[in-house]
């Protein structure tokens, strides 16, 4: 028997369209885990606090302009600069929640028209989530929610394209041969409480640790 039990924390990513409730749900899930005495931590991408993150922030608020490919690579670099802390947190037994990840990176840049495979390449080999929760909501519903339209990608046609890209990513992720990575679509058009319960049902089997080794994305 070679397979040593690693019992690491689970890596759970929350993805979805703008205003689908990712940040609200990630915060609720963190609180729920902490109440259950499960060591848990929340990360968010873009992480706007690093030097790369500050450049991204200024771009998103339309204070600066960048070539589409340059900003794409910065989003990916922002994940790579935190990749080691992701795997160390998981291996120390912490359950890690992540508000957006590589899937957003690909969906947004591909929606602008960059080639899908080119978009995916820089994120290959990042730590792979055990579970991705895709919060799906119709753009017409999202538009009615608070804060919509403040940043550069928050236009309805762009959001429609992004949704198509996320659907493709979901199919490729859950269909990828033999891996243990799961993609679960959550109906984010429901009430905040109903979404929270759907999320908890998907997350609960993972909260006491994961035995299989941490995989890498698209390897």
Q: Which of 9, 53, 105, 139 binds ligand Z5A (CB under 6 A)?
A: 105
Out of 130, 136, 154, 198, name the contact with ligand Z5A by CB under 6 A. Answer: 154
The one segment of 1-9, 97-105, 165-173, 208-216 that binds ligand Z5A by CB under 6 A: 97-105
* Residue in the structure block whose two tokens are 């919060």: 135
d(CA 102, CA 114): 15
Nearer to ligand Z5A, 110 or 210 (CB): 110
Alpha carbons 108 and 166: distance in angstroms, whole number: 9
**Contacting residue, 100, 110, 127, 131, with ligand Z5A by CB under 6 A:** 100
In the list 8, 9, 29, 46, the residue contacting ligand Z5A (rule: CB under 6 A) is: 46
Q: How many Å apart are CA 132 and CA 100, to the nearest integer?
A: 9
Q: Which is nearer to ligand Z5A, 41 or 100 (CB)?
A: 100
**In terms of C-beta density within 10 A (0-12 exposed, 13-18 middle, 19 or more buried), how is residue 218 classed?**
middle
Is 55 one of the binding residues for ligand Z5A (CB under 6 A)? no
Q: Is there a contact between 151 and 60 (Cβ–Cβ < 8 Å)?
A: yes
């Amino acid at each position: 028997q070679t397979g040593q039990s690693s019992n690491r924390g689970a890596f759970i990513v929350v993805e979805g369209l703008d205003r689908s409730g990712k940040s609200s749900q990630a915060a609720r899930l963190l609180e729920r885990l902490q109440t259950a005495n499960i060591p848990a931590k929340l990360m968010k991408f873009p992480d706007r606090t690093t030097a790369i993150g500050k450049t991204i922030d200024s771009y998103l608020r339309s204070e600066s302009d960048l070539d589409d490919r340059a900003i794409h690579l910065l989003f990916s670099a922002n994940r790579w600069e935190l990749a080691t802390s992701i795997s160390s947190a998981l291996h120390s037994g912490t359950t890690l929640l992540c508000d957006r990840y590589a899937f957003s990176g690909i969906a947004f840049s591909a929606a602008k028209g960059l080639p899908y495979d080119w978009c995916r390449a820089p994120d290959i080999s990042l730590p792979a989530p055990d579970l991705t929760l895709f919060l799906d909501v119709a753009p017409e519903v999202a538009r009615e929610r608070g804060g919509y339209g403040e940043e550069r990608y928050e236009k309805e046609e762009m959001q429609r394209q992004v949704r198509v890209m996320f659907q493709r990513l979901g199919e490729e992720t859950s269909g990828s041969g033999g891996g243990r990575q799961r993609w679960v679509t959550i109906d984010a058009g429901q009430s905040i409480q109903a979404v929270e319960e759907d999320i908890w049902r998907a997350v609960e089997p993972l909260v006491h640790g994961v035995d299989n080794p941490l995989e890498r994305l698209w390897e």
